[in-house]
Structure formats: C-alpha cells, structure tokens
Amino acid sequence: MSLLKVRVIALPTVSPFELSAAAEVFGIDRRDTGGPVFDFGVVTPTPGRLATKVGFDVLVEHGLEDLDGADAVVMAPYAAGTEVPESVLEALRAAHARGAWIVSLCSGAFALALAGLLDGRRATTHWLYTAALAARHPDVEVDPDVLYVEHDRIITSAGTAASIDACLHLVRSELGASPTANIARRMVVPPHRDGGQAQYIDHAVPECSSDSFAALLGWASENPATDLSVEALARRVLLTPRTFARRFRAETGTTPAAWVGRMRLARAQEILEQGEEGLDDVARLAGFSDAALLRQHFSRTLGLSPRAYRARFRGV
C-alpha cells in the first residue's frame, strides 16, 4: 500500500497546538509498534519563518506546490483577521475537486467556508466561533455541539483537542480501527470520544469524574456481549435506573444506550479487521442480538455493510 500523503496548510498566526496535533497523528513513523506511517509535510504560500499566534516562529520550507497529489489537505487554524490568500482558497478547491480529503482544525473552517467548500454542508468549529461562522456564511449548516463533522470527504473540527479527534477520524476512515487505536495508544488519548462539544459518530470510554463510573465503563468495554441494559448497569453502581441514566449523561454527555451501541460497533470493527469469524459470531461477540442488527448499525453509522468493511480494512 502506498503511503497516504498528508499536507497541512499553515498561515501566519498559526495555532501551534493544532499544528502539532496534526504532526503528531500523521508525522510520526510508528512501524516499530505496528502502527502506520504517512508522507507528512507542512506548506505555506510564502515559505520561510512563520509567526505563530503565541509569540514564536516556525520554519516552513515548502510552498503550496507541494500539495500536488496529496491524499488529504489539512487547514490549520489561524487568528481572526488573518488574510487568507486566494492561492490557498484555490488550492483547497482544487484538492477537493480531485477527491482529496479536506480537513479543517478549529478556525481553519473559515478558510474552507471562504473557498465555498462548506456551502450546503454541515460543519463545525470552536464553540467560540460557531456564531460568527454561521453569520458570515449563512449557506453553511453550522453545528456547535459536535467535536467534528464529516460531509462529502470534508472534515471540520471544533477547537484544540478536537483536532486530534478529527485527525484520528480521517485515519479510521482510510485505514480502519486498529491503526487508529495504535496511534491513539501512542498518544495516550482515546481513539473516539463522546461528550462536551460532543462527537456524533463513534464510541469512547470517556473520562469520568466518578471513579465508579470510570470503572463501570472500562468493565463494559471489556464485556460487550453481557447484559448492558440501563437496569443491569445501574445495579453495578448501586443506583436506580433513573438516577443512573441522569448521572450517566452528566458524566459522558450521551445516553447509556447510545454509548453501548457505539462501543459494541467499535468492538465489531476490531473483530472484522482482525479475525475470520462469520457475521453471526461477530454479532454475538460484540454484543448484538443477531447479524441483522449488526448490519443495521454498520449501514446507519459507517455507510458500509460488515462484509464491505472487512473487505476494505482486513489486514490494513
């Protein structure tokens, strides 16, 4: 398999955290622990020293011509008021037109909107800027509540740590759950998150303020095929189902049923990638009642059948 070519566009006043997040996900060779490696680089319209928004400079050696052939183009965030050159907007349009993934991190969504790539599409940005994005670009369906959104191979993310979620989602979409988990383990972050400016796609073991809830979610993740109804989970932490459901949403930002469904789907993805089990066994091991329900979850959430998912990601 050829290496995925990933390029980040950085402008003056670039945010170093999100730039580093993309570099951490795509720029490190993790073959020593069985992880993936990418062809990664950073570009800017005028190569040279580039000021960040926090007072130090970075050296960017390559211009926009290095975007040629990129499989994914990431727009790094920049400070409000920073001019976006037309050459950058043209490069984003051209990359999308030839089928490349386009990813914006935090305020990078404004560049995508200026390029017209978000018109008629659902998108997000940092919650501080969602109102401004909606006001300036009324043709964009701005969702202020998610960590990231994917629409037509365009991924937009909320702020700061959500940039990691968006980058990992791109890895998962191209390479599958196992390489994504490898990167996440090396970064000491969850491969998927719920809650907060809440991700709508996948399963997570969220950070919990309650040790009992953290232990419960860890146990549930290790036992997807057991009874994980609200009643059964509530018994394990000595709460009534009603109190448990209320506290679960407060801790995780989602419902017990939604979290369990996403967790079981992630487990099914891993089994399909790594094993040879038939669909009935995959469903049983992941906690679904039957293969029909497994197919329903795959189709609704991933847009693929389990068989198509295995064909795409088996052995990647």
Give the Cα separation of 122 and 228 in Å (integer): 33
CA distance 194 to 146: 9
pLDDT band at 248 (very low <50, low <70, confident <90, very high): confident
Rounded CA-CA distance 297/300 in Å is 5
Q: Look at the chain and count its residues.
A: 316
What is the C-alpha separation between 111 and 45, in angstroms, rounded? 14
Share of the chain above pLDDT 90, in %: 63
Arithmetic mean of pLDDT, 164-181: 91
Domains of the chain: 5-187 (3.40.50.880), 203-316 (1.10.10.60)
Mean of pLDDT values over 216-230: 92
pLDDT in tens, 149-166: 998 899 999 988 899 999
Q: What is the pLDDT of residue 195?
A: 42
The percent of residues in the chain predicted with pLDDT above 70, rounded, is: 92
Indicate left, alpha or beta for 217 from its phi (over 0: left) and psi (-120 to 50: alpha).
alpha
Closest by CA to 182, choosing from 108, 270, 79, 54, is: 270
21-37 as b/e: b if 16+ CB within 10 A: bbbbbbbbebeeeebbe
Residue 140 to residue 42: CA distance in whole angstroms: 27
Sign of the Cα pseudo-torsion (187, 49, 73, 41, in order): negative
